[in-house]
Structure 1
Amino acid sequence: MNFSDLIPFSGHAEFSPNSEYFAAIKGLTVTVYSTQQLNVIATWRVLDELSKLEWGRDSKILMCAQNKRCVVQIFNLQDLSWNSKISLGIAGLSGAWIAPSSREIITITEFQERLNIWSLIDKSVSHLLNPKYGNKGLSFSSDGRFMALAERIEGKDYLGIYYTQNWESASHFQLDTFDVADIKWNTDDTVIICWDSSVEYKLLIYSPDGEILHCFSPYQNALGIHSVVLSPGGTYMGVASYDDKVRVIHHVTWTRLGEFNHASNLKEGKDFYVYNEEEYVDQSGRVSAHYGFLELPTKLGTTDERGVSLCKWNHNSTFLATKSLSVPNAVWIWDNISCSLKSVIIHRHSVKDVEWSPKNQLLAFTAGSKMIYLWSDDGASVCDMPFDESEFRAQSLKWSPDGQCLMVADDGNNVVVAYPQFEELEGRQA
């Protein structure tokens, strides 16, 4: 891999949807860089600490939400002198989004009293009542025509479907949930997926007109769903649960196709490997790391916590990468075609983030060190970043939408852009 220099930032950095730019904030300054040349395209000042940084779908509009100041600032990459500011005042601000048109801003007031839609064209304002959450419970269809909104009315959960062209109601119905945790459209926009809070295991599939198509509830009387993750093509849905299992559901039949259990006792299996990170000192005296193999059967060290906290599909839904809180220093990779375990990768420290490339079978992950860890179907490898561990410890990852580069961030001081050399990586796999 090739790496950029350390780029200062304060916890918020995002690629544009077209992958040409990335924006990073440091203090009260927002800077937009070109992704490949890393030259500065634009800089703007914000008024207060940033709560959210978001690009519009057109890669021209950049939104900077500042919840403490109750202000949203919007900048335009095509016209650097243009800017807009939305002040919520005493109503407060708990969440903000850019509408699919990139010409409207959606805000939710503090205490979820109302949702406002602010037009950047004619400065008009529309509003909807009773949003349940301030920073979730809202999902746009992939074609941008509809918005689904979780609502709370007189102590009961409802779902509202609205046309994004005029924000009129398309349908409105009560949910069969005790306390809906979140919602999302399926990628083909035919259904809305809703799931209950973790105290009750219930996942519901609704048609846009309110018909329940399927209810999935494999057990009761224990902590249930941690997260729901759709595969990129929408064919599969991974339901990560607090019982240390991921259940894979098909999008047509809504039946369970497989169940991946994060057991600490690993037995021998066909095409199944356990990688173990090992330190060594290179010729220059620098401490580095590589992977060795653990013999099977083996028992992994576990904690008292349980639950699948990370669950990520690869670009073509053939593999699923997970992390269990019971073995926090391990990445589990599952073969979705054969419904079997493919690899377990053990690290010296707790795994912080895992991200698949959106264009190929390369998985990158971090464990709070100066290393980037990589896996593909050919094996696993360790990439030692050219920084001292005292100045940079990789925490989080984001691939550019075109899969050509990888943003690596530490705990809030610096971000680095990595440029994988894919031919070189193929030759380095363990």
Structure 2
Amino acid sequence: MNFSELFKLSGLLGKFSPDGKRLASCVQYRLVIRDVNTLQILQLYTCLDQIQYIEWSSDSLFILCAMYKRGIVQVWSLEQPDWHCKIDEGSAGLVASCWSPDGRHILNTTEFHLRITVWSLCTKSVSYIKYPKACQQGIAFTKDGRYMALAERRDCKDFISLFVCSDWQLLRYKILLYSLDGRLLSTYQAYEWSLGIKSIAWSPSSQFLAIGSYDEKVRILNHVTWKKITEFEHPATITNPKTIVYKEVEKSPAVETERLSFPPRALASSLFSTQSKYDISQVPVSLQYVKPIADRANPKIGIGMLAFSPDNCFLATKNDNIPNAVWIWDIQKLKLFVVLEQLCAIQSFQWDPRQPRLAVCTGNSKVYLWSPAGCVSVQVPVEGDFQILSLCWHSSGDSVALLSKDNFCVCYLEREEVK
């Protein structure tokens, strides 16, 4: 396992391009585009204000930079560096921005989630969609890019509406699940509670829909009947003897390692290959539980993170009431498989796009990797304070960008041959 040197970063804004050729990062109001192989700067763009969000277009030809405080989105072309586009939402404000699957339309969500404005880069036309729900995962597109599902909030009720992306017109409007030809599939409702659904994730095969709720449960629906096939609870005490609980423990190194200066990608994996910082706990295991303040806005309760592995075999979840644990479920057997109990709160996790390998970060200078073969903790070899708050896999699965508040580095999981 090798690591690059540290590069400056702000806002945790670092993303690989979909084609895997470039790495974008932000430093205040500057957008930096690097070559993935050499990490040399290819292009440098200057925006009108501090960048708060970036996203690549699906074809990697454009990248948008959102400045929410100014209500502005700027779009840059990788093929034509002199071309750029500015979208100003004016008094409507801006809280979210994203690309449509065709990479030629931008969807901006205005303040207070009053509407979504759809801007076309080709025709310069504008479309409006009302009542988007204020949630992190409120928009999803089909793989072919033809349809968009939008979570909406009307009259204190949650709805899912389907739109045709070619003209952004409503296809069908009904509570919850419809097929694309308009057949009612289900009117499933998890439970009677005004907070509703917190998170949602499709499996890569589209066979399963995972719904995370504020009651600390995940419900799995199948794509044939759209009925609930199982329900995953997240109790504070693990009692099933067949569940593996990996507990992170602090260990002092047996031998003091000499301080070295590491050039880019020069650290050999042998330094850390035997440094496992996990113990397997014997059940029952009591996890750290945080009692939420229910009367506070946006309470930290329920299932805040959901992600299926690329082979559809596993589902990783985080219950915000138990912030230091990652739950990994066996989707084949529909049961809990592994729990990772960390010393610090989970900040982010993401699956390797090529295999069932999960990367986790907890706000320290370590990256944690789990696969069915086991779990390992690796210290990033940098001087000073490097707190990893987010991470992003390369499309090949060979590397992952580790992002902190002020810096980022690239972790290479396959060591190159030295020539």
1:374-421, CA deviations, whole angstroms, 9 ceiling, x for partnerless residues? 111111111111024x420111121122322111112x2111211113
Q: Which residue of 2 aligns with 1:415?
A: 408
In structure 2, what is the Cα distance between the partners aligned to 1:319 and 1:34? 32
Higher mean displacement: 107-116 or 16-25: 107-116
- Change in CA separation of 1:361 and 1:91 when aligned onto 2, cut-off 3 Å: closer
8 Å Cα contact 1:369/1:393 also seen in 2:
yes
1:219-247, CA deviations, whole angstroms, 9 ceiling, x for partnerless residues? 33585532111111211111222332222
Q: Which residue of 1 aligns with 2:208?
A: 236
- Change in CA separation of 1:224 and 1:169 when aligned onto 2, cut-off 3 Å: closer
* 1:24-423 paired onto structure 2 within 5 Å: 24-110=25-111, 115-122=116-123, 124-128=124-128, 130-132=130-132, 137-149=138-150, 161-165=162-166, 167=167, 169=169, 171-173=171-173, 175-176=174-175, 204-208=176-180, 210-221=182-193, 224-270=196-242, 272-282=243-253, 283-284=255-256, 290-305=277-292, 306-388=301-383, 390-410=384-404, 412-421=405-414
1:113-152, CA deviations, whole angstroms, 9 ceiling, x for partnerless residues? 6544433334x32322534358864443321223445567
SS at match of 1:293: strand
Higher mean displacement: 36-45 or 337-346: 337-346
In structure 1, what is the Cα distance between the partners aligned to 2:158 and 2:210? 24
- Change in CA separation of 1:330 and 1:117 when aligned onto 2, cut-off 3 Å: closer
Shift of 1:285: 6.4
8 Å Cα contact 2:2/2:411 also seen in 1:
yes
In structure 2, what is the Cα distance between the partners aligned to 1:106 and 1:243? 31
Shift of 1:87: 2.7
- Change in CA separation of 1:295 and 1:136 when aligned onto 2, cut-off 3 Å: closer
SS at match of 2:350: strand
8 Å Cα contact 1:320/1:334 also seen in 2:
yes
Which structure 2 residue ranges, 5 or more long, are not aligned? 259-274, 293-300
Shift of 1:259: 2.3
Higher mean displacement: 65-74 or 53-62: 65-74
Q: Which residue of 2 aligns with 1:180?
A: none
SS at match of 1:101: coil
1:329-386, CA deviations, whole angstroms, 9 ceiling, x for partnerless residues? 1222221112222222222211221211111121111122111111111111111110
8 Å Cα contact 1:91/1:110 also seen in 2:
yes
8 Å Cα contact 2:127/2:168 also seen in 1:
no
Q: Which has the higher strand share?
A: 1
Q: TM-score, normalised by structure 1?
A: 0.81
Percent of pairs with identical residues? 32
1:85-132, CA deviations, whole angstroms, 9 ceiling, x for partnerless residues? 22333343343332333233333444556544433334x323225343
Amino acid at match of 1:403: G
Amino acid at match of 2:42: I
Shift of 1:261: 2.0
8 Å Cα contact 1:291/1:381 also seen in 2:
yes
8 Å Cα contact 1:131/1:149 also seen in 2:
no
Shift of 1:72: 1.7
Amino acid at match of 2:376: S
SS at match of 1:213: coil
Q: Which residue of 1 aligns with 2:270?
A: none
Amino acid at match of 2:245: V
In structure 2, what is the Cα distance between the partners aligned to 1:350 and 1:156? 32
8 Å Cα contact 1:116/1:125 also seen in 2:
no
Aligned residues: 390
Q: TM-score, normalised by structure 2?
A: 0.83
Amino acid at match of 1:279: E
8 Å Cα contact 1:3/1:416 also seen in 2:
yes
Higher normalized contact order (CA 8 Å, seq sep 6+, divided by chain length): 2
- Change in CA separation of 1:70 and 1:236 when aligned onto 2, cut-off 3 Å: same
Shift of 1:69: 2.0
- Change in CA separation of 1:253 and 1:148 when aligned onto 2, cut-off 3 Å: closer
Amino acid at match of 1:393: Q
Which structure 1 residue ranges, 5 or more long, are not aligned? 177-203, 424-430
8 Å Cα contact 1:405/1:419 also seen in 2:
yes
In structure 1, what is the Cα distance between the partners aligned to 2:193 and 2:303? 18
Shift of 1:207: 2.8
